Amino acid sequence: MSNNVQPQAKKPSPLPKILTIICSALAAVFLLLSATMFVSARSQAQEIEQARAEIQSADAKTLEIEGEISSVKKQIDDAKAKKDAQEWCDGLTRENAVLDKLRTQGSALKSMAQNKRDAIDSLCPQKKAFAEAFAKDAKQGMIGPENIQCTSNGNTMTFNATIKIDAPSVLALGDMDVTVDVFAADHPITASDASIGSTVASVSSSGTGPLSVTLPGSGNETDCGLKPVRLWPTGL
């Protein structure tokens, strides 16, 4: 009789199960981390998108405000230009259209802002055209008397002359009225002599016009003179 001893079966190693558990745990942790990172990234993307939208909204609001400021500024500038234009128009009249002032008024137009020139053109286009034409033609001897004749008759003096305008741009606007100061004295006329009166000569667009006026005198006058002092378009 033989005794056969059967070897004991080896117990399975727990290592695979442990590794499986560890791998499962790691997978769960990785999945959790991935989910957390995804949520975090999505949250950051939303925040970035929201920030971008807020910036765009702020930019749009800034542009809107800048537009409103520009509009208000233009309204203020236009109102000031209209006020200045009205003052310019009111300041140029037949009564104060002395030759030196006309030259100044016309020259000033060149340096004015465009909106002010436009306002003047709208309020008093004829005055603007006249001032510009005068400034363009202005020169020494532009308006002068020719063929002056003075006749004394007791206590009066009669003055006759031809008034000539050498100003093509001015004459293109039509007939002109020239205010002339009249001088008479018992000595050669000087700049310090006061006029004994004035008269208005009408000069046609051809450039000449007659002057004839009789004024009181002392009877002692030996010299006389005529000086154009103002110019204005006939009928304006």
Domain positions in the chain are 83-137, 143-233
Q: Which of 227, 202, 73, 27 is nearest to 141 (CA)?
A: 227
Q: Residue 177 and residue 234: Cα distance in Å, rounded?
A: 6
Q: What number of other Cβ atoms are within 10 A of residue 86's Cβ?
A: 14
Taking CA atoms, 153 is separated from 125, 210, 216, 223, in Å, by: 46, 21, 10, 14
Q: Residue 31 and residue 28: Cα distance in Å, rounded?
A: 5
DSSP 39: H
- Token pair listed for 178: 């020239």
Local confidence pLDDT in tens for the 236 residues of the chain: 455 555 555 566 666 677 777 777 777 777 777 667 766 777 777 888 887 887 887 777 777 777 777 777 777 877 888 898 999 999 999 999 999 889 888 888 888 899 999 999 999 999 999 999 999 999 888 999 999 999 988 889 999 999 999 999 999 999 999 999 999 999 999 989 999 999 999 999 999 999 999 999 888 888 999 999 999 999 99
Q: CB burial class (10 A; 0-12, 13-18, 19+) of residue 88?
A: buried
- What's the angle, vertex CA 29, arms to CA 28 and CA 32, rounded to 5? 85
Q: Residue 37 and residue 24: Cα distance in Å, rounded?
A: 20
- What is the pTM assigned to this prediction? 0.68
CA atoms within 13 A on the CB side of 72: 6
The CATH number of the structural domain formed by 143-233 is 2.60.40
Q: Residue 89 and residue 200: Cα distance in Å, rounded?
A: 23
N residues, the chain:
236
